[in-house]
Amino acid sequence: MCRLLPPEIGCVVGSDVAKSAHVVCAREAPSGTVRLKSTPIPATAAGHAQWLEWLGEWGAPAPLLIGRESTGSRWEPLDDALCQAGYAVVLLNPHQTASWASRLGLRAKTDGIDAHTLARGLLARGLLAGWARARTVPDELVQALRTLTRTRRDLVHSQRAARQRRHDELVTVFPELIGHLPARADLGAPAVLRRVTVYSSAQALAQVPRDDLGRVLEEASAGRWGHPHAPALQHLAQHSAASTRAVAARAVAARAVAARAVVVRTLAQHRLDRQARIADLEAALAEVLRTDPPSQHLQAPGLGPTWTATIRAQVGDGQRVQRVDPLGAYAGLKPRTHESGRFAGQRRLSKRGPGALRHALYLATLVAGRFRPQWRARYQRLLDPGRAKQEALTILSRKRLTVISSLLRTGASYDPTCLSPAPLARQA
């Protein structure tokens, strides 16, 4: 049954949060009379104080309801100031607030219009089920895990793009190197990167004394390669297609090859630096997990430190969502139906939740389904009726999410003989 605003609410306030300034709009309830038109305030302590002064003029905290969208992290200082002063703050789903603007027929989009839309939406539907929820800001440890995992993920993604660029540039200065790497090594191996930073083209490697090359190989690889590998590598460089062009060409071509070698060297140094930064982040993640008791309960198959930190950062303590269906919807693992009349479209995953959470669950499920007997047996049972592998892994990912949420809520340890230690209640 739909519920309107409680009678004690006398004013609703919509807040559009931005980097340098927030925009505030207030309307009286239930009449909807504008009490404060959309007004920007600086995103500073002075601006927050000004807002609290306005709120104090409008009445006690209890009759005031403040709403903001749950996007980004720029809201944190303002949210802390409001909640410490005793004001009620609700989170608004950006997808829902966008539908509010659509229903109002708004075509333009400005910060002032957004704040006005939030205030009107709160006034009309602010406490309807599914439209707004109470403030659920995670604790400092969860926010720290979110920041660490997000930063690590960004660095890893940038590494992948830089790796392809480095591969493309290396083709022009030493194409044979790619197929002549030592066993169990690739272009991202630290030893290969260190060698490339010293000799970043076939021309440079072909002219260096063989003893110097052997010494560099030994130092770069911490002893894995050395003088025995130098002759073959130098012979390859001396007969490289890139080396032939460089020797036959004159000054202009030689400078062009040298310039491309600088690019290869720079990209290799960039990769080495990123690897060091990622190692620092992983060490920080391990330290946080070591001091976080709930994370110790997530010692389930397939969950390494990185995936454990990612899931803990997104699920929190497991108390926010305690039913199976909403939990799967939060993770974007619920199918989205597209039907109209006689048309029945394909059911696809909504993928509206945190992508990092789905990725971590999928990889952890993939590992467990291959190497853990209980999960492998369940995976096979899903495949036997003819399900596709992707569908089976998605079902197991949802199952794994319910297990993880239950472990976080109850504080129990993972039991390999029971896939769901404390099953969540299903919706009626």
Q: Answer yes or no: is 421 within a domain.
A: no
Q: Are residues 275 and 182 in the same domain?
A: yes
Determine the average pLDDT of the residues in 66-73: 78
Question: pLDDT band for position 242 (50/70/90)?
Answer: confident
| CB 285, CB 308: distance < 8 Å | no
Over residues 314-353, the pLDDT tens digits come to 888 777 766 777 888 888 888 877 777 777 777 788 888 8
Determine the average pLDDT of the residues in 233-256: 64
- The DSSP code sequence of 76-99 is HHHHHHHHHTT-EEEEE-HHHHHH
For the chain, the first-to-last Cα distance in angstroms comes to 15
pLDDT of residue 9: 83
Question: pLDDT band for position 193 (50/70/90)?
Answer: confident
Q: Are residues 103 and 177 in the same domain?
A: no
Q: Which of 102, 137, 172 is the last residue of a domain?
A: 137
Least confident of 39-48, 292-301, 402-411, 412-421: 412-421
Q: Answer yes or no: is 3 within a domain.
A: no
Q: Answer yes or no: is 313 within a domain.
A: yes
Structure-token pair, residue 238:
């001396």
Higher pLDDT, 226 or 43: 43
pLDDT of residue 358: 92
In this structure, the number of other CB atoms found within 10 A of the CB of residue 277 comes to 14
Report the C-alpha gap between 235 and 206 in whole angstroms. Answer: 7
pLDDT of residue 182: 65
Contacts of 288 (CB under 8 A, 6+ apart): 141, 144, 145, 148, 295, 309
pLDDT of residue 283: 94
Q: Are residues 232 and 319 in the same domain?
A: no
* Phi, psi dihedrals of residue 86, rounded to the nearest 5°: 95, 10
> What CATH number is associated with residue 121?
3.30.420.10
Q: Answer yes or no: is 420 within a domain.
A: no
Question: pLDDT band for position 26 (50/70/90)?
Answer: very high
Higher pLDDT, 58 or 422: 58
Q: Reply yes or no: is the peptide bond before residue 30 cis, omega within 30 of 0.
A: yes
Q: Are residues 219 and 265 in the same domain?
A: yes
Task: For residue 246, give the amino acid letter.
Answer: A
Least confident of 20-34, 130-144, 338-352, 411-425: 411-425
pLDDT of residue 6: 72
Determine the average pLDDT of the residues in 157-184: 78
Q: Are residues 166 and 204 in the same domain?
A: yes
Determine the average pLDDT of the residues in 342-365: 84
CA dihedral 147, 150, 151, 153 (to 10 degrees): 160
Question: pLDDT band for position 278 (50/70/90)?
Answer: very high
Query: Average pLDDT, whole number, for the chain?
Result: 80
- The DSSP code sequence of 233-298 is HHHHHHT-HHHHHHHHS-HHHHHHHHHHHHHHHHHHHHHHHHHHHHHHHHHHHHHHHHT-HHHHTT
Q: Answer yes or no: is 403 within a domain.
A: yes
The yes-or-no verdict on residue 51 having pLDDT over 80 is yes
Most confident of 16-25, 98-107, 164-173: 16-25
Determine the average pLDDT of the residues in 376-396: 90
Q: Are residues 158 and 282 in the same domain?
A: yes
The yes-or-no verdict on residue 128 having pLDDT over 50 is no
Q: Are residues 120 and 241 in the same domain?
A: no
Determine the average pLDDT of the residues in 36-50: 91
Q: Are residues 360 and 243 in the same domain?
A: no
The yes-or-no verdict on residue 83 having pLDDT over 70 is yes
Q: Are residues 198 and 160 in the same domain?
A: yes
The yes-or-no verdict on residue 243 having pLDDT over 90 is no
- Residues in a beta bridge with 66: 13, 89
Q: Are residues 302 and 359 in the same domain?
A: yes
pLDDT of residue 198: 81
Q: Answer yes or no: is 306 within a domain.
A: yes
Q: Are residues 69 and 126 in the same domain?
A: yes
Question: pLDDT band for position 138 (50/70/90)?
Answer: confident
The yes-or-no verdict on residue 89 having pLDDT over 50 is yes
The yes-or-no verdict on residue 136 having pLDDT over 70 is no
The yes-or-no verdict on residue 126 having pLDDT over 60 is no
Q: Answer yes or no: is 222 within a domain.
A: yes
What DSSP character marks residue 320?
A: S
Q: Are residues 282 and 160 in the same domain?
A: yes
Determine the average pLDDT of the residues in 123-131: 54
pLDDT of residue 169: 80
Q: Answer yes or no: is 6 within a domain.
A: no
pLDDT of residue 252: 56
The residue segments making up the domain with residue 20 are 11-137
Least confident of 9-13, 122-126, 405-409: 122-126
Question: pLDDT band for position 424 (50/70/90)?
Answer: very low
Based on the structure, what is the number of domains in the chain?
3
The model's pTM = 0.74
Determine the average pLDDT of the residues in 212-225: 77
Q: Tell me the residue length of the chain.
A: 428
